[in-house]
Amino acid sequence: MSPTPQELARRLLPLLDLTSLNDARDDDIAALCAKAATPQGKVAAVCSWPDFAAEMAERLAGSGIGVAVVIDFPGGGSPAEAAAAEARQAVAEGATELDLVLPYRAWLAGERETARAQIAAVKSAAGAAVLKVILETGTFPGPKEMAEAARDAIAAGADVLKTSTGKTAVGATPEAAEALLGVIRETGGTVGFKAAGGIRSLEDAAAYLAIAERHLGAGWITPGHFRIGASKLLDAVLAALETGA
């Protein structure tokens, strides 16, 4: 039996990374953090630029909401030392989660060790912070290459595999979710998954929940394992919950 929109929305709310990544870096962090704790419940994390790590940490202190920042975003082409330094500074300012862009152009050009070295360097700098590696799956030829990159990311220290920056023509897709979640299953299910890039409706989100559940089971889908990064989805979730109420 399919869940009602209200049941789906209730399941999704604690899995959301409420995200704001304006290219001008003029994000309204006060409004974003205020929106993250709703009368219906809290999102998992707030995600923005590393410039705002300290402000987010201050505004979210004691809330239980994660402070997520993007690293080497959106291009993923910086030297490993530069990405690690950015990560180290963000953690020092209060970031608890780091969303690092895989050097996907280098990886696709055959420089897989370069990509692995950058992930490893940022993992070392991250300390206790959760490291999510953004594969930018929309740039990959197909699921075979997505899966290979996912294995490299896990081997280098990724805690979570993430589909997309949302800054390229193709964001999250069911095909990418199948590839990444298949690798997560084959490697024991300890690594998490984050769908991001163009997910706006309950129907969009439900598709990713269904894929994750098929690969790893309903019990695996918790904020520690499964996230959806979105700026608009929270509005749809709250609208469904308010209708149900």
State the catalytic residue, choosing from 99, 152, 159, 204: 99
42, 123, 132, 162: the catalytic one is 162
CA proximity to 15, closest of 207, 245, 229, 199: 229
Distance from C-alpha of 161 to C-alpha of 177, rounded to nearest angstrom:
10
DSSP bridge partners of 61: none
Catalytic residue among 132, 152, 194, 204: 194
Taking each continuous run of H as one helix and of E as one strand, the counts in the chain are: 10, 10
Tell me whether residue 26 is one of the annotated catalytic residues: no
- Integer Cα distance of 71 and 68 in angstroms: 10
Cα three-residue angle 241-215-4, rounded to 5 degrees? 20
Report yes or no: 202 and 10 within 8 Å, Cβ to Cβ: no
Whether 232 sits among the annotated catalytic residues: the reply is: no
d(CA 201, CA 46): 19
Phi, psi of 220, rounded to the nearest 5 degrees = -70, -25
**Active site annotation includes 28:** no
Active site residues: 99, 162, 194
